[in-house]
Structure 1
Amino acid sequence: MWLMEMLKVYQDALDLMKKVIREFPDLAGGKSADTSELWNLS
């Protein structure tokens, strides 16, 4: 079903964003690996 495919792609994108922010905290405003504030916005 296409909806499940879209959800998987979306989840993969979120995981990638989290990895990038964890690797490059400067992108998240110089914060540490704690990005809970970011994810609460969505």
Structure 2
Amino acid sequence: MNATIVLMVRLLEGIFIVGSVGCVVVLILTAVEDVKTLFGQDDDAS
């Protein structure tokens, strides 16, 4: 019983870490695109 609870907690921690890393990557990529747009270096600007 105790091992099952520990396993579930570790699984939730892993999901949280993966989600956090993904969120940071998306924020960085969005910031890079915004900076490119601000300086007029966006290739597909209409």
Flag the structure with more relative contact order, 1 or 2, with Cα contacts below 8 A and sequence separation at least 6: 1
TM-score by length of 1: 0.57
TM-score by length of 2: 0.53
Following TM superposition, where does structure 1 have runs of at least 4 consecutive aligned residues deviating by more than 4 angstroms?
Answer: none
Instruction: After TM superposition, list the pairs within 5 Å mapping 1:23-38 onto structure 2.
Output: 23-24=39-40, 27=43, 28-29=45-46
Q: Which has the higher helix share?
A: 2
- Give the share of equivalent positions with the same residue, in percent: 10
Q: Please say which structure displays the higher CA radius of gyration.
A: 2
C-alpha separation in 2, matches of 1:20 and 1:8: 18
Question: Structure 1: 5+ residue runs without aligned partners?
Answer: 30-42
- How many residue pairs get matched? 29
